[in-house]
Amino acid sequence: MLGYIFRRLAISIPTLLVLIVLSFVLMHAAPGGPFTSERPLPPEVLANIEAKYGLDKPLIAQIFNYIGGIVTSFDFGPSFKYKDRSVNDIIASGFPITLTYGFLSFIVAFVVGCALGVAAALKKNSWLDYFAVGISIGAQVLPNFVMAPILVIIFTLWLGWLPGGGWNNGHWANIIMPVIALSTSYMASIARLTRSSMLEVMNTNFIRTAQAKGLPAHVIVRKHALKPALLPVISYLGPTFVAMITGSVIVDVYFSTGGIGQAYVNSALTRDYAVMMGITILIGALTILFNLVVDILYAWIDPKIRY
């Protein structure tokens, strides 16, 4: 098992380096720059600003300096648009917010989705199956950019139960609607994957053998069927977890939570390449990390994967 983990790590580190280099090159290849505007700056002023941020150096030197700052001190550099603020400060102020409601959204999507999928598979063609499938289809056709305004209209404008936006230091009333808006579509996908996988596992020979031995149904599901049925679900959970904990741009913008999704949009509009690079690398690193975690879990559940 340790050899398998080391092999995956050996692949992950070069992948992250390639991501950093490609992102850096593509960002600088885009037309315009962080200091270009409708009223161009005098060449002398522009040259001084570029020298301050190291943009006057060759591209190769900029890449090595950037990677060196990340490796040695985990420093993503200063923001080009926010004075006296670094990229680390912007990420540190927004990431805990998206981490909070993203992690809660993941828990809700995983628990509810798996429960609906297992219930639908065990009670195939019953009212419970139709109910679970109906909820999954309804949630699938309502993505977060549709679900968010519907929640605000119902719970804020009509009922007046919940605030329509803001973070308020993570008060529960401000978390409910972002969690629902972010988790519903993922919950539907998890429920459909769990249902189809559970139906396939329940028709295998080792499940029939366990039933012939007279084992209780809950023991068969918990000890024999659930573990192999979750294999395709676990493969889906890696990128899903990253997508949730890095926050949704729609959720951040619509509910004004102040997460990194809003910072990412603002940096794209203002061409703050330093912030865009920092958030891109953060998302890429988390994607690689949790895909590694998923691979390890996959190998733990199914030992054949290790070979």
pLDDT at site 32: 67
User: Is 266 a residue whose pLDDT tops 70?
Assistant: yes
Whether residue 172 is predicted with pLDDT greater than 70 in this model: the reply is yes
Q: What average pLDDT score do residues 113-119 get?
A: 89
Does pLDDT of 41 surpass 60?
Answer: yes
Of the two residues 194 and 36, the one the predictor is more confident about is: 194
* pLDDT of amino acid 33: 67
- At 178 the three-state DSSP class reads helix
Distance CA 83, CA 168 (A): 26
pLDDT, greater one: 34 or 151: 151
The answer on pLDDT for 160 being more than 80 is yes
Q: What is the pLDDT of residues 216-248, one digit of tens each?
A: 887 888 787 887 888 788 878 877 887 777 667
pTM for the model stands at 0.80
* Residue 292 in this model has a pLDDT that exceeds 70: yes
Q: How far is it, in rounded angstroms, from Cα 189 to Cα 233? A: 9
39 pLDDT band, cuts 50/70/90, is low
Q: What is the pLDDT of residue 247?
A: 61
Percent pLDDT > 90 in the chain is 1
Higher pLDDT, 3 or 19: 19
**pLDDT at position 38:** 58
- pLDDT in the model for residue 303: 64
Quote the pLDDT of residue 186.
87
* pLDDT for residue 86 is more than 60: yes
